[in-house]
Structure 1
Amino acid sequence: MTRLGADGVGCWVVKTARPPDAVVPGWRPGQTHEVTRCLRPSYRLGLMRPGQPVLLWLSGRDRPGVHATGVLAAEPAAGDGGPVAVVRLTLLPDPLPRADLLADPAARDAEVLRMPAGSNPSYLTPAQYAAVLAHLPRCH
């Protein structure tokens, strides 16, 4: 397997098993919040830069898919339990379902779809990220 390089990252994907309103109580569509997500120590952390696009992915059986879009607010930092990233995310009016991405030829081989139990951060290639953006409302 080829090691990921900066040019292979269209966006970062941070995952949660908790619905967005449990991540940020009272989070409403269109609202932006800074959220801290735990990361797995790996070489990928060295590729993460403030301002890079980020997606919030809800894992599990209840509405899996992209629930928020945003940017990396700061470089990964040390946290109490390991590395963390602060991301600035805007909750989507409606999530982009996992099934929609599986049906899209440009997105269906994304790491987050092939390895849903993988650790944070995951990523999308530039072409996969473009496919996600094409599914989102025009305001994104």
Structure 2
Amino acid sequence: MAARAVTEGDLGAWLLKCDPRVNPELLTTAGTGVVRVTSRCVVPGYRAAMMQEGDRVLLWVSGDGRRMARGIWGLGRVTGVVDQTADRPAVPVDIPLFPSALADADLRVAGIDDLEVQRMPAGSNPSWVSRQQWADIEPLLGAAHRS
């Protein structure tokens, strides 16, 4: 299935993925409330160009789920624009990690099974969440999951 084009009118939040096998610092600090993700690599293109300071952004931990639960581990904001001319373009963000994940399994139980990251787990950053999907996710973010 091809990725759907995102428009400003559809955007509820950006979603940035990371894999604990590639980002092992997540393993030692997840759940402590200490870690803040401050940058994530993105693929140059129209999505990266759309990312603006203040945009809502979710952090999705991918992988096989053995090291960390697959799902949403953080909620924050984009803090600047992407320099698409850099060798490894990255978006500056401020995403505090949650004490525990809003796991993919929990999202699916709640009927949220159509996120781009769920349909195409190997897709590149940035992914996105529609306004309707955000409206479905937001109530699931309890006190432990709010930024």
If the length of structure 1 is used for normalisation, what is the TM-score?
A: 0.85
1:3 to 2:1 alignment: no
1:108 to 2:110 alignment: no
Structure 1 counterpart of 2:46, one-letter code: Y
Aligned 1:1-140 pairs, distance under 5 A: 3-18=5-20, 22-23=25-26, 26=29, 28-31=31-34, 33-62=36-65, 63-78=69-84, 80-105=86-111, 107-138=112-143, 140=146
Q: Which moved more, 1:53-62 or 1:124-133?
A: 124-133
Q: Which moved more, 1:85-94 or 1:1-10?
A: 1-10
What SS does structure 2 have at the residue aligned with 1:7?
A: coil
Distance in 2 of aligned mates of 1:81 and 1:23: 24
CA RMSD in angstroms, aligned pairs only: 2.3
Distance in 1 of aligned mates of 2:125 and 2:16: 5
Structure 2 counterpart of 1:127, one-letter code: Q
What fraction of aligned residue pairs are identical, expressed as a percent? 30
What SS does structure 1 have at the residue aligned with 2:132?
A: helix
Distance in 2 of aligned mates of 1:118 and 1:61: 15
Paired residue total: 139
Any runs of at least 4 consecutive aligned residues in structure 1 with deviations exceeding 3 A, and if so which?
23-32, 78-81
Query: Which stretches in structure 2 are left out of the alignment for 5+ residues?
Result: none
CA 1:51–1:15 in 2, change beyond 3 Å: closer, same or farther?
same
Native 8 Å contact 1:77 1:83 kept in 2: yes
Distance in 2 of aligned mates of 1:80 and 1:24: 28
CA 1:85–1:108 in 2, change beyond 3 Å: closer, same or farther?
same
Distance in 1 of aligned mates of 2:20 and 2:75: 16
Cα offset for 1:29?
4.0
Native 8 Å contact 1:21 1:27 kept in 2: no
If the length of structure 2 is used for normalisation, what is the TM-score?
A: 0.82
Structure 2 counterpart of 1:73, one-letter code: T
Distance in 1 of aligned mates of 2:37 and 2:18: 15
Distance in 1 of aligned mates of 2:40 and 2:86: 12
